Each structure stands twice: as structure tokens, then as C-alpha cells.
Amino acid sequence: MSTPSEAVPFGLIGHIKARSGRRAELAAILAEHSDSMPGCLSYVVAEDLTDPDGLWVTEVWRSREAHRASLELPAVQEAIARGRPLIVEFDAFHETRPLGVAR
């Protein structure tokens, strides 16, 4: 078991399918507070170039616990509530162990 100083980096890569014509709106909601989440090293929301309704979200966290804690933040809860109606499905979701983060 890791202590906070020995935390293992944790990553997520997910593909989200937005409701038709609502991708930009969903992307804006997802990116809103990404720079203020404690323990988040990188949070990238990107348009899928082959799917006009698709978004890729790539996240890197100091630890799995930091990611889990972020889901309890009021701003994140509010973004989830606003974004959920715009999502058709999460059609890909992968957990990763980041080996390095370029800045």
C-alpha cells in the first residue's frame, strides 16, 4: 500500500460520444474547472477528428485517490450534472499508469 509521498500516478483515457451537435458544449463543460483540481497533473479534452460527436479525455493524476477525491468537489459534481444530459455514451474507458508527464 502506498503512502501519499509514494503515490502511484494514475491515468484515464476515455472516449465520450456527445449528443449530435452538442460536442462543443460538452467539451466546454468538461474543461471548465480542469485547472483547479487538486492532484491533477494533466487534463486534456480533445475533439475526435474522425467522429463529429466524439471527445477524448486524457487525465493524469498524482494518485487514484486524488482522482477519486476530485469527484466529490462541488464544481466537479455540478459539471457532471450539467454534462450528463449531453452524453450519449462512454464508448471507451481505459485506466493507465503514467510513466512521465511532459510540461
Residue 72 has pLDDT above 60, yes or no: yes
Please tell me the total count of domains within the chain. 1
The more confidently predicted of residues 35 and 11 is 11
Task: Classify residue 101: in a domain, yes or no.
Answer: no
The answer to whether residue 19 is domain-embedded is: yes
pLDDT in the model for residue 12? 97
Nearest CA-CA partner of 76 in 39, 51, 50: 39
Per-residue cell: 82: 450539467
Q: What is the mean pLDDT of residues 43-51?
A: 97
Residue 1 pLDDT > 60, yes or no? no
Domain that holds residue 22: 8-96
Please indicate, yes or no, if residue 38 is contained in any of the structural domains: yes
Indicate the helix (H) or strand (E) that contains 60. strand 54-61
* Residue 34 located in a structural domain: yes
Distances from the Cα of 89 to the Cαs of 10, 16, 36, 39, 83, in angstroms? 23, 6, 26, 26, 12
Q: What is the rounded CA–CA span in Å between residue 48 and residue 68? A: 26
C-alpha cell at 1: 500500500
Q: Is residue 57 part of a domain?
A: yes
Task: Kindly report the CATH number assigned to the domain that includes residue 54.
Answer: 3.30.70.100
Classify residue 2: in a domain, yes or no: no
pLDDT recorded at residue 103: 66
69: exposed, middle or buried (Cβ count in 10 Å: 0-12, 13-18, 19+): middle
- Judge whether 44 lies within some domain: yes
